[in-house]
Amino acid sequence: MYRLLTTMALYAFAALLLPCFTAAQTEAPLKRFAFSHPQMGTLFNISLYAADSTQARKAADAAKARIDEINNSMSDYMPTSELSKLSLTSGSKKAVTVSEPLWLVLSASQELAVQTKGAFDVTVGALSKVWRKAIRQKTMPAKSEISTARKSVGYKKMQLNAADKSVQLNAPNMQLDLGAIAKGYALDEALKAIEQHQVSRALIQGGGDLVAGDAPPGQPGWQIFAKWVTPQGQLRDTLLQVKRCAVATSGALYRFLESDGKRFSHIIDPRTGMGVTHAAMVSVQAPTAMQADALATAISVMGPRKGFAWLQKNYKAIPAIVTFQEKGKPVQLGKLRE
Ligand code: AMP
Ligand code: MG
């Protein structure tokens, strides 16, 4: 979604570094391979180290297939997806048993909805459609459109039954939208698929999110190069070396509607029905990309200061960096960890 976060894998001076790493001396020499895969409205980029091109291709193909499977289940753009079919049952008083992956993502979403008192809410779909159209047409939505959509939004109207992993949507026209979390889940699953092919040194990016497996041979981590544009248009770079963690970025930089001097984002506050207007950029570093993705959006909804304070209180061990504008000046809170 955001093309700001780009990565550069370091071409290490292996000959110089190898003597420091005894494990590397016993391993077959690994080569770096790169693949890309368009899906979920973005481009997934896979970098990995494998013994040869056959192993690399098999691992990458498994990752691509897994990303496609998750999209087929969780896309709200595809009318045939499991998620869209579930949304169609809303208001019918029927509970529908869902697949294991969809259950896992919906349960994690619901847990965060409770924790954030509805700032993060995947039942936001009806409002997402209103704002997507508004952004596309560059026209503010009518108040009546927003109030109608709000009737179909609210995490308390989504009932999850753990006993049979079923979901009941208790208002008509509810539309689930996993746009804030499914990409992260897909990244985690893509890494697992790669690891099943005995490849552990991999980095996968999808839009502004990434997940890192083990570090490249002889290196402490994958070098990720985070580019930041402040609301004033200044470019900032953060260089990090990461392994076995995920970083997700959320923000309103590209997708917004300008009206009356305000920028209304595609990120919506479900409690008001309005696109958020603070234009903050939020990056969260977490053990899984699903968690990083969801938390980054949650902070975006709560607003930069409130959201960052909330994270520090509720997720002490999870680093985040938040950039925004306050009284005409760019402000940055927090930092990511190497
Ligand atoms: P992200 O880029 O991960 O921050 O996700 C943004 C997307 O999440 C939007 O384009 C919507 O599809 C969806 N979304 C918008 N507002 C919310 C919200 N309050 N809670 C959960 N998902 C949201
Ligand atoms: Mg997100």
Beta strands in 198-319 (DSSP E): 202-206, 209-212, 222-229, 235-242, 245-251, 256-259, 262-265, 268-269, 274-275, 281-286
Instruction: Give the least confident one: 19-23, 185-189, 201-205.
Output: 19-23
Q: Domain segments of the chain: what residues?
A: 82-169
Ligand 1 lined by 101 (C-beta under 6 Å): no
Taking CA atoms only, the protein residue closest to ligand 1 atom 12 is 179
In this structure, CATH architecture of domain 82-169: Orthogonal Bundle (1.10)
| 296 CA → ligand 2 middle, Å | 5
Ligand 2 ion local residues (Cβ < 5 A)? 180, 250, 293, 296-297
Q: Are 199 and 49 in contact (CB under 8 A)?
A: yes
Q: What angle do CA 263, 269, 271 make, to 5 degrees?
A: 140
Q: What are the pLDDT digits (tens) for 242-293?
A: 999 999 999 877 788 999 889 999 999 999 999 999 889 999 999 999 999 9
The answer to whether residue 27 scores a pLDDT higher than 80 is: no
Closest ligand 1 atom, residue 209 Cα: 3
Between 46 and 16, residue with greater pLDDT = 46
**pLDDT, position 2:** 37
Distance 255 CA to ligand 2 centre (A): 14
pTM: 0.91
